[in-house]
Structure 1
């Protein structure tokens, strides 16, 4: 277990928030200029795959310290995902819709448990692990099913979303690193995380709130393929 200084955690969290919300501002501008899509366009442009992909890459590149930093980054983006993200795409359901999302309370409980070193019983942890194992496969199955209905127009808009998420995210992340005077592994991890493709969870939210699920599915799939090229380049740049 790697412990990070509170000031470092705060700067990583601030960086994650700036990159995420900056991506939203950039997405708003692209929507205004191009008419790229509806509310769903915000999801794959703002919220990246900072968990499965970002944390794994940070661990490989920077070891346990990188994992701890990536986890701090992800916690911030996850909280924004289930609060700001849901609010952006569920306006028809009311402004308090995000408070009906169980994942919000699960995230808060997890943060508090970690912050106060709450010992969670082994059987409970095992049960949570067993419940969580099917999550990613089920989401990927749903994503693949939705991709069968994708049209050419969705791919064109998805290309814009991918450019905003990966290219725009990297640009914003670079600015944030310099603005907050981040150095060393912290700067490297934040830069890497800012350039991750869209998270699969975006599709689940888009499907639930009928927010351009075809566009979101296309952006996730296309962005993941593009990241096979961009991620090694970003890693080579930050290392």
Structure 2
């Protein structure tokens, strides 16, 4: 795990270095927007189609939904109680709920789990993302952002339109082909595999582009501490307890819990910007939890693989 994280850290460091060097005059924000657009609209759907087309999909997939939704809901409840107790400002409260509850299951979870457990872990990541984390973000997360923020659009976008996106269409197509026993042609499978191979390095590089130390300020430290504790400590514990009640076994159990132990999700900054939440606070949460995850993830991996019987 440590060797894997060192390699990934170096790729993220390349992205962070780009922010300062600005090769060819390209800013980190512009470069990240282009790369994430390519990943979101072409490369990630290709991976989703490749993985779910041949994955073992069934009733057990619903278990990932229960685990993900349950863990996120508990994290949201904890940070909300803290916010009510200390009477946090609405803009900060909304940003803190998003940062504490929603993990970066894909952009960091995918490379970490694939390199740690093997190619089969991609199925766990994609199902956790598309069947639990992202749907909850686009529904409950959007409602939280609207409640604590301000609606800037003249005509609010219906929640269901968030699901009109390439990864969800690819997932629907893959599940349909999978359930009907359609075998992927060798030439198409080869194309999907080559496109999928680019996802991990570009995701890590984009994550490095997104990290900004300018967002780290002293005034936000009191708000970051509860987010950090819930995201990196309590949420993995929540997931460990919940998964004990589900028939997920072996390394699949460890992979699912580790995926929920990831730092704050990058996509949350979009909701903060749109609904005028505290974007700088959220950006700091992403940066700080990502750095801390370099220590926390090996710890939780060790607990999951060696100390599970004691939990």
TM interval, shorter chain, is 0.7 to 0.9
- In structure 2, runs of 5+ residues without a counterpart are 1-50, 179-183, 306-311
User: How much does 1:110 deviate?
Assistant: 2.8
Q: CA 1:136–1:93 in 2, change beyond 3 Å: closer, same or farther?
A: farther
* Structure 1: distance between partners of 2:204 and 2:260: 22
User: How much does 1:149 deviate?
Assistant: 5.4
* Structure 2: distance between partners of 1:203 and 1:140: 15
- Matched residues, number: 235
Question: How do 1:221-236 and structure 2 match up within 5 A?
Answer: 221-236=287-302
Q: 1:211 maps to what in 2?
A: 277
- In structure 1, runs of 5+ residues without a counterpart are none
Tell me the SS of whatever aligns to 2:164: helix
Q: CA 1:136–1:63 in 2, change beyond 3 Å: closer, same or farther?
A: closer
* Structure 2: distance between partners of 1:13 and 1:108: 15
Among 22, 29, 32, the alignment partner of 2:84 is 32
Q: CA 1:98–1:6 in 2, change beyond 3 Å: closer, same or farther?
A: farther
Write out per-residue CA displacement over residues 56-90 of structure 1, whole angstroms, 9 at most, x where no aligned residue: 12112221222211211111201111222111102
Tell me the SS of whatever aligns to 1:199: coil
Q: Given that residues 86 and 98 in structure 1 are in contact (C-alpha distance below 8 angstroms), is that contact kept between their aligned partners in structure 2?
A: no
Write out per-residue CA displacement over residues 91-125 of structure 1, whole angstroms, 9 at most, x where no aligned residue: 3439x946268542114323212211298xx7xx8
Write out per-residue CA displacement over residues 32-57 of structure 1, whole angstroms, 9 at most, x where no aligned residue: 22335321111111111100211212
Question: Is residue 85 from structure 1 mapped to residue 144 from structure 2 by the alignment?
Answer: no
Q: 1:63 maps to what in 2?
A: 118
Write out per-residue CA displacement over residues 204-230 of structure 1, whole angstroms, 9 at most, x where no aligned residue: 221221111111111110001111110
Question: How do 1:1-239 and structure 2 match up within 5 A?
Answer: 1=51, 2-36=54-88, 37-75=92-130, 76-91=132-147, 92-93=150-151, 97=156, 99=158, 103-106=162-165, 107-117=167-177, 144=212, 148=214, 150-239=216-305
> TM-score under structure 1 normalisation?
0.83
The structure with the larger Rg is 2
* Structure 1: distance between partners of 2:251 and 2:207: 32
Tell me the SS of whatever aligns to 2:128: helix
CA RMSD of aligned residues (A): 3.4
